[in-house]
A and B are shown apart, each in its own frame.
Chain A
């Protein structure tokens, strides 16, 4: 069976004042249809760069591999990929409803106006915004705005879903709520999904596979972890499963050690171990890279 998404030998170089910077090099990844894959890695390693190339918002380097979605070589962005950005990036002059409708009108232009309105309303209701259809983004909380962002992506009935740290700016309670909203919608539609996150627990809760990226520059796939938990997953049961902690330790070990050593870099001095159940361990944030991150991020999604 051919894959839904094939990323092969992908590279991306940015011109900088100090010469070209190869951010991602020889990145290979295949996604099965209906698979949920999370991409983790240190901040600044190139996760958004990969995602925005899949979204078609930035171009891979010339003659350096390609991206094939459902058997077709990608060129440019399109509504066949629903994108959820880190900031919800709703148009502030439109209501939640009109923000979703803008995309629906675009994709389902053959449907009647009534049907299109129904689609928009349906997805907003599913994400729990049935009562806030006609509110402007400024009247919505951060979490509600991201719900609109999710509804907008799903309402396009895309071939796949691309999410770039969609819950990164939310408090942990809201984050868990939205993870559930996302899983529920994904279960109904069984879309192929590629999501960037740096929250290890989030990745373990959502993903079928977790792709670990090495550090940059010239970042690439370091390792891939299969997440064996059956679905539907219950967060509480997961937290009682020793397997969960084993996988989690493996992810953290990757981020703390192998993300560096695979690139021939020296990992930072190890920190004292955190007991697994302590609150500090529940949301792991990887340390920032010691390398200075370039200030201009014109093309990135985040």
Chain B
């Protein structure tokens, strides 16, 4: 038991140590432009230790950037759920609807955010100042909604016939069947979709900010690449990773609650 606890702590640390060592060796040998771990820390220190400071539009504490990014993600993600869940229900309920839209969904699903974003910018060109935000939201929503759509559809199709028979015997109205039977029975699947969607939404944010130049972790990363401050690229990568991990854990906890229910 004790040994197990120790392993759980030590083994991941070994992993971290190995990767940092590889990073160090690389920066010292074949990748001369790659900042070493210590240089990275030196250059990032201000951003990490004063995480909420605002020195300029593109020079802010890392958590402040993260906060901007999260806000944008939240909006795009919310859009994805609001649009994706009903589509998932329609797909799950109607074979005709599935036959009409499934092929197009399968074709649109693998399209990369880098491809969607320019289209988003074109779509909202008339919106003036908020064009870049709307374009980014469009991209996040359209890229991240597929897991929600597909998992919801699978969940609806998996609702046990027994439950539907109960609804039929009781002559529940359509709305009552939806809210009292279908939605509760589908919730566990929906939340799996929601979790996967959030992961994608967070993945897309970087691409969106890079191309639109909006302040945020992704925008900062791209700016610092252009400004040759390579240390900050690594800072941003680590930040994106930690935040993404945290979001996934959070969603797992929520998902787990609905699994048992």
A residues adjacent to B (C-beta < 8 A): 55-57, 76-79, 81, 83, 85, 87, 89, 91-93, 102-103, 106-107, 156, 298, 301
**A85 proximity list for chain B (CB < 8 A):** 162, 165
**B75 contacts the other chain (Cβ, under 8 Å)?**
no
B184–A103 touching, CB < 8 Å? no
**Judging by beta carbons under 8 Å apart, are A106 and B163 in contact?**
no
Which among B160, B180, B261 has the greatest number of chain A C-beta atoms within 10 A?
A: B180
Interface residue SS majority, chain A? loop
Provide a sorted-by-A list of 14 A–B residue pairs whose CB atoms are within 8 angstroms: A78-B171, A81-B169, A89-B163, A91-B163, A91-B166, A91-B181, A93-B185, A93-B187, A102-B172, A102-B180, A103-B170, A107-B170, A156-B170, A301-B165
In the complex, are the beta carbons of A102 and B184 less than 8 A apart? no
A170 to chain B, nearest CB (A): 17
Given A89-B162, A93-B261, A298-B161, verify A77-B168 contact (CB < 8 Å). yes
Closest to A153 in B: B169
In the assembled complex, which residues on chain A have CB atoms less than 8 Å from the CB atom of B170?
79, 102-103, 106-107, 156
Count residues of chain B with CB under 8 A from any CB of chain A.
Answer: 17
Query: Knowing A91-B181, A102-B180 touch, does A55 contact B161 (C-beta < 8 A)?
Result: no
A83 partner residues in chain B, CB cutoff 8 A? 165, 169
Q: How far is the CB of B233 from chain A (nearest CB, A)?
A: 47
Interface centre among B170, B187, B261 (most CB of A within 10 A): B170
Cβ–Cβ contact A57 & B261, under 8 A: no
Chain B proximity of A159: nearest CB distance (Å): 13
Smallest CB-CB A-B distances: 10 pairs = A89-B162, A77-B168, A93-B184, A106-B170, A77-B169, A103-B170, A83-B169, A93-B261, A78-B171, A79-B170
Q: B178-190 interface mask toward A, CB cutoff 8 Å, 1 = contact, 0 = none?
A: 0011001101000
User: What is the CA–CA distance of A77 and B165 in the complex, to the nearest angstrom?
Assistant: 9
Q: Return the CB mask of B138-182 against A: 1 if under 8 Å, else 0.
A: 000000000000000000000011110110111110000000110
How far, in Å, is B9 (CB) from chain A's closest CB?
Answer: 35
Q: Which residues of B contact A91 (CB under 8 A)?
A: 163, 166, 180-181, 184-185
Chain B residue nearest to A91 (CB atoms) is B163
Mask for B95-132, Cβ within 8 A of A = 1, else 0? 00000000000000000000000000000000000000
State in angstroms the CA–CA spacing of A55 and B170 once bound together: 11
